[in-house]
Structure 1
């Protein structure tokens, strides 16, 4: 008896291993999968401008990073004693305008370097709803709780999204033609926009993304479909009934791993997992001989792993 509708997935011909360098940009799926990749010590750069929910914000970051178009004083603003930028998440802020500009422009440099050297670029789209800043006419990545009357809310058309995604692919291909691009759509529903409005938003993303992939390349991973069809039960959601809970994240990660993580990486992942659990171990008696031996063994295993993979860092 089958109690689940399963999505057929095939392993990639260009999987991720410990030689790979990843760039992850976009919405919450990036954060969830990025945390897993970080745990297993894969090399990655994740959301240098913080979470970016819509395709225009992702395109803007990639375009500015590649062009070296640095941020200037007039592109940031002060609110309640804190300097912010509409192109970045609220995590990127500073009490000093000079410090914020330095941070933004350093992150642009880091993004370009990561894109140039990446083997895989994972982009997750969250919503087609955007906010245009009335005074400047620019579409923002984050409103930073500035009063909504200063913005105009807009639903991007399929054509606008498709054009943005085509620009992203073209920019990356010119900079790094060997990079494997992986697209997905966040399973998180933006119900603050409204239930019907969320469905309209996701449908625009789906239509534009698949048209773009069919015409310009790239791969698609069905994170949205996995949540909606394989995990269609509220026991897989957090208390807000919107975000996937840890069990769901683990499930989607296993499905992602079956497609995009090389089988050859599994042995190393098991070694890393053993070390991570060892580092989290809290002994009853820290001064005991047994624990001292455990610590010595753990340090030896870390050293052995780092000799093979010098980029791995353990705390």
Structure 2
């Protein structure tokens, strides 16, 4: 008796991810979950240099600015709630001084360009089709930084507008890296502050637009993280206490599905060793001076040295 519907997934045949791959992950908070898994297993990845970006226009803008070597100046930042912010970036880059923020922004934009040029895979996760415009300038913002809502107008991007933005992203990426594989996903995290009906409409626009753009022969792909959570994990036991974000069980489940599709099976032995080392680093002994623990530490060090000798980019 089957108690669950399962989305059929086939492993990719070309450009699979291994330990020689370089990844950059951009977009909504769900991409951070996959990025953290890749980081845990010591894959080479750059995760959201500008912080979480929720909508397509914010991601497109970042790609454009990175490729054009934009230099952020005092005109691009503002002071609010005792911090300096930039409407193009998440608050994780915000700082107590203007100079520190500008340094953060310009370092992140350089990091983004370098990652784009060197990457073998780019994962872009779309969170919402709702955008906010700053009324005084009519500019679309990536983050409102808790500025009063009366200063913004809110609108829903059409399917055509999203598809146009996604095509622009791909064109920008391919202009500096023609061989890269682009993997689009839609975040299963519901944006209920927009409203229940509005969230569903938003996700529908994103999914429709992605499927207008995805073309595996052109190295653009879709990974169904949204469908996996909505159709395979149809239960609130897979959600965190806010009943909106997937919990660790759900994240692990989607990660296993992502591995099946995109990770080369040759990575499995190394991933097992990395996992052993990571768990060993977190281990807290009852008796740190015991012979058994000293032997454990020696074995752990040998495994670390073995990994670093084979993959010099790994750090523990």
Q: Secondary structure at the match of 1:19?
A: coil
CA RMSD of aligned residues (A): 1.0
Distance apart, 1:213 and its partner CA: 1.3
Output one character per residue of 1:75-106: Cα deviation in whole Å (capped at 9) or x when no partner: 10011221000110111111111111111011
The residue that corresponds to 2:280 in the other structure is 278
State how far apart, in whole Å, the 2-side matches of 1:70 and 1:145 are.
25
- Give runs of ≥4 in structure 1 deviating > 2 Å: 214-217
1:112 and 2:119 correspond: no
Instruction: Give matches, 1:174-253, under 5 Å.
Output: 174-214=175-215, 218-253=220-255
The answer for unaligned runs of 5 or more in structure 2 is: none
Number of matched pairs: 314
Equivalent in the alignment of 1:12: 12
| CA 1:228–1:84: 2 relative to 1, 3 Å | same
SS at match of 2:91: coil
Q: In the alignment, what sits opposite 1:123? A: 124
Contact 2:181-2:219 at 8 Å conserved across structures: no
Q: Which residue of 2 aligns with 1:133?
A: 134
Deviations 1:4-50 (A, max 9, x none): 11111000122100000000000122111111101000000000000
Matches of 1:290 and 1:267, distance apart in 2? 25
How far off its partner does 1:294 sit?
A: 1.2
Query: For the residues of structure 2 that align with 1:146 and 1:155, how far apart are their CA atoms?
Result: 20
Q: Tell me the distance in 1 between the aligned counterparts of 2:292 and 2:5.
A: 49
Instruction: Report the TM-score when normalising by structure 1.
Output: 0.98
TM superposition score normalised by structure 2: 0.98
Q: Which residue of 2 aligns with 1:3?
A: 3
Alignment of 1:288-303 (within 5 A): 288-303=290-305
Answer yes or no: is 1:49 the counterpart of 2:45: no
Q: Which residue does the alignment assign to 2:313?
A: 311
Give the CA deviation at 1:288: 1.4
User: What SS is found at the alignment partner of 1:242?
Assistant: coil
The aligned residue for residue 82 of structure 1 is 83
Shift of 1:217: 5.1
Gaps of 5+ in 1: none
**Aligned equivalents of 1:7 and 1:289: distance in 2?**
49
User: Corresponding residue for 1:146?
Assistant: 147
Distance across 1 between alignment mates of 2:231 and 2:82: 46
Partner of 2:270: 268
Structure 2: distance between partners of 1:49 and 1:214: 27
Q: Cα deviation per residue 1:121-150 (whole Å; 9 max; x = unaligned)? A: 000000000000011111000000000000
The 2-side partners of 1:99 and 1:281 are apart by 37
- Secondary structure class of the residue paired with 1:189: coil
Range with greater deviation from structure 2 (286-295 or 56-65): 286-295
- Alpha-carbon distance between aligned partners in 2 of 1:281 and 1:217, rounded to the nearest angstrom: 42
